[in-house]
Amino acid sequence: MLEYLTEIVNMFFMQYGALGVFIGTVIEEIIAPIPSTLIIIASSFFMLNSAPITLESVAKLIFFISLPVGFGMTIGSTIIYAACYYLGKPFVERYGKYLGLKWSDIKKFNDRISNQKRDYLYIYIARAVPVIPSVAISGFCGVVRYNLKKYLILTFFGGVTRAFILGFVGWQFGTYYKNISMGLSNIEEILVIIIIVAIIGYVVYKKKKSK
């Protein structure tokens, strides 16, 4: 599976350059089985091709990888955000009683984080750190109906930062890009499981507290 994906990714990069990176990132944001680190690390490996560290190479990393990833992540993740935005409230209102959760709880939480200046920093860091699952952030922001304008800005700049970090890794350690991307992907999967367990634990806690 990974070998097949790698060939497709390589074809995009070699034929379409920055456009291929953008398209690959949009697809990766929507289709969960694709390792989120593969696009960035592989693109820097193929496009920079072990080039020496110069201003020209860094500029290429920024304009041909980091910025396309930022735009691709913003567009792709917004689809997940929109789905959770519109489906989250009906789901909570219909099934929230079984989970000890009310829509008013979601609204209060959104109001609380929206009135804190630190929310910018939290979401930016969550986007920028390579091992934090992007789909979890998009889904969370959609369900709590986080401000769309702030979401788009923070997703873009966080995505650019994440791409620059991973792109530099792929550029300097390109021959190991498959192992690196799979290792980071495994960490993401573990974090997704931890998040799910944390949500279940929170629901159980709420139900016991209500009793």
pLDDT by residue (tens digit) across 28-45? 888 765 666 777 877 887
Residue 149: predicted pLDDT: 92
Q: Where are the alpha helices (DSSP H) in 129-176?
A: 134-143, 148-172
Phi, psi of 133, deg, nearest 5: -60, 125
pLDDT reading at 205 higher than 70: no
Residues 6+ apart with CB under 8 A from 117: none
pTM of the model: 0.74
Q: Where are the domains of the chain?
A: 2-210
pLDDT in tens, 121-141: 888 998 998 877 788 888 888
